[in-house]
Amino acid sequence: MSVHFSDIEFIPEFAALMLIEQVPDYTNLSTADLDALLSRQLITRETLAPGSQRIRLTRDGQMILHTLARIS
């Protein structure tokens, strides 16, 4: 999946994506935001141990944030 600039306007979960980049262990994100980011393949869940997960940005999630940083 490649991310195009036009995709950015359809991602209302920017704040959650930025927070995941800065604090991957943050656990107070809404399920709706996480589900939306997962469905767009912008984040992934990494199992660290049984019952313990970490959320990470995918390459596409990183590209979105880097693009936003360049245009802002």
Rounded to two decimals, the pTM is 0.76
The alpha carbon of residue 10 and the mean position of all alpha carbons in its chain are separated, in whole angstroms, by 13
Domain 5-71 class, CATH top level: mainly alpha
According to the model, what pLDDT value does residue 47 have? Answer: 86
From the list 49, 56, 53, 66, the residue with the least C-alpha distance to 8 is 66
Report CA torsion sign: 43, 49, 51, 52: negative
pLDDT tens for 25-42 read 777 888 888 898 999 999
Q: Structural domain boundaries of the chain? A: 5-71
According to the model, what pLDDT value does residue 1 have? Answer: 52
Report CA torsion sign: 18, 67, 63, 12: positive
Which residues of the chain carry a pLDDT beneath 50? none
CA 47 to CA 72: how far, in whole Å?
A: 34
According to the model, what pLDDT value does residue 11 have? Answer: 65
